[in-house]
Amino acid sequence: MGDSLPTAIKMEERNEVLRHGRSFLGQPRGIGVLSFMQLCNSFANYGMSAVLIYYLYTGAPSGLGFSKADAAQLISLYTGMIALTGIVGSYVCDRVLGCKKSLYVSRVFSLIGFTCLSLPLGVAGYAAAMACLAVGPMFGGRCQDALLGKFYDENDNRRDSAYTITYVISNIGAAAPILSGIIAASLGYHSAFMACAVLTLASLILYSLTYKPFFGTIGTLPDDPLPADKKRSFIFKLAIVLVVSIAALAILFVSGTLTIPSFANFVSTASIIIPIAYLTYIYRSRKTTKTEKRKLLALTPAFFCNAITLLIWTQTISILAIFYEEKVDRVIFGMEISAASFQSLPAILAIFIGSLLTILWTKLGKKQPIGTTKMGIGTVLWGLGAVIIAMLYILFPGNTKVNALWIVLFYFVLMLGEGFTCPVGYSITSVASPKAFITQMMTIWGMSMSTGAAFNTLAVNFYHKGSEVPFFLTIGGIVIACGVLLTIFGNKLGRIMGLGQESETEAR
């Protein structure tokens, strides 16, 4: 007992040294490891997603031979399940495993999943792979985002830059579809999935080697640990629920009682409601102090703004996808490019803009805008994107073709907005989260986009052919107005959350 206190003090002193390190782009070395893991994870997931649907509906022996409709539904179902299991994983991280162990366990499940896909095991191999890839988040959730935040104090102005670095690296993974497509075409789908497994393994090896020297005890303990006896009971119950749920779903699907479309609709609806309900639960929890409740209330406007940006983004893959096909002059240097090619612009611009913003925030240091103000500015830029589209319908009526450079401008404005909102959103959430719910709050913030999907579902009811100008002007106006309000009150809300160089009390 006498030796434990000095040891704990030494460990905390070691952690402080690690936190103040600047050997990776001005950030701690642990951020470099997490960035590499993010790069590998992004490449693996983008790479798998790019060819999975083709693998599902391609006939044997190359693929599994599902119908295209069933393949598309299976992809949607997998995406929805990841969102829901991530909530459980964030709870497990906060209460059972802690960030460091959660990250390791979740990546191990990913490795097993990609490995199953890389082997010619047929439908059974696919089912096992999807189970592992869905169960992985059940042990981790947003643990990597939470672990990154633990390297910084509330007033450390490097935090926004760190999250922007991982945002840029994640978008670099957008190159994975090109690479996995080439591998699949030349060597087969299983080889493409094997590349995903190799990348995941590489990230796990680096993490294992740097687990102690680069991270110390940062993120080792759960933020709100369960007692030892309840921890064992929880793990046992979780295993039972998992097995029973898989068995029940299998029986319902085989009997025809439950169909893929109906289950996908249920998952989508749950993804809309759960973030709001969970946020309410955390606010009302006895573990959330009065100060933390004030921080949560201050975070809510940013949460709402992040959600409504989906009103703009969803249009780029629905209404605007038709716009690119019908109204854009796609002949460049004498060659006609496909309408789908425009979908690659966001990732390219995100890397460029994210890199510039990382340099800018690092350069400005203490002079950079507070996180909530950045969220407000970014939201305004998202709204301007919708205004640009409305303007194009006015400037180029009827069958008049639109120069492709306008689409580049549109995406530049959108990605500049995302550069302000996406990484900064996770950064301010890491500060505003109650201590007992840090990882769970990261998951809730990530699911704000599913809440935004509900807004979009309502909005599309007002869209009709020929009503594009009022439709996009209305959406753009609402988003801009919300962004302006958040910008105006950004400093005040940020101080309540504990952002900036002084606490709210000191500011008074």
Radius of gyration of the chain (CA): 23
Query: According to the model, what pLDDT value does residue 501 have?
Result: 47
| pLDDT tens per residue, range 108-128 | 999 999 999 999 888 888 888
Query: According to the model, what pLDDT value does residue 507 have?
Result: 38
CATH 1.20.1250.20 in the chain: give the residue spans.
12-224, 289-508
User: Comparing 101 with 79, which gets the higher pLDDT?
Assistant: 101
CA distance 274 to 10: 41
Query: According to the model, what pLDDT value does residue 320 have?
Result: 64
Q: Is a pLDDT exceeding 70 seen at residue 18?
A: yes
CA distance 309 to 379: 7
Q: Is a pLDDT exceeding 90 seen at residue 463?
A: no
Mean pLDDT of 235-251: 77
pTM over 0.85: no
Sign of torsion over alpha carbons 344, 346, 349, 354? negative
Pick the CATH number of 289-508 from 3.10.580.10, 1.10.3720.10, 3.30.360.10, 1.20.1250.20: 1.20.1250.20
Q: Is a pLDDT exceeding 80 seen at residue 363?
A: yes
Cα distances from 263 to residues 86, 258, 417, 456, in angstroms, run: 18, 7, 34, 21
DSSP secondary structure letter of residue 212: T
Q: Is a pLDDT exceeding 60 seen at residue 203?
A: yes
Mutual angle of helices 438-446 and 404-432, in 10-degree steps: 160
Query: According to the model, what pLDDT value does residue 506 have?
Result: 37
Please state whether beta strands 402-403 and 328-329 pair in parallel, antiparallel, or not at all (unpaired): parallel
- Consecutive H or E run containing 9: helix 4-19
Identify the CA nearest to 298 among candidates 444, 443, 496.
Answer: 496
- Consecutive H or E run containing 328: strand 328-329
| pLDDT tens per residue, range 160-201 | 888 888 878 877 776 676 777 788 888 888 998 999 999 999
Query: According to the model, what pLDDT value does residue 168 have?
Result: 80
Residues 6+ apart with CB under 8 A from 173: 39, 41, 42, 43, 45, 46, 47
Residues 6+ apart with CB under 8 A from 298: 372, 432, 493, 494, 496, 497
Residues 6+ apart with CB under 8 A from 464: none
CA distance 142 to 137: 8
CA distance 137 to 103: 9
| pLDDT tens per residue, range 248-285 | 777 876 777 767 666 666 666 676 777 788 888 889 98
Mean pLDDT score across all residues of the chain: 80
DSSP secondary structure letter of residue 466: T
Mean pLDDT of 386-414: 85
- Consecutive H or E run containing 121: none
Query: According to the model, what pLDDT value does residue 277 have?
Result: 83
Pick the CATH number of 12-224 from 3.40.50.2020, 2.30.40.10, 3.30.565.10, 1.20.1250.20: 1.20.1250.20
- pLDDT band of residue 5 (cuts 50, 70, 90) is low
25 dihedral zone (left: phi>0; alpha: psi -120 to 50; beta): left
Distance of CA 101 to the CA centre of its chain: 20
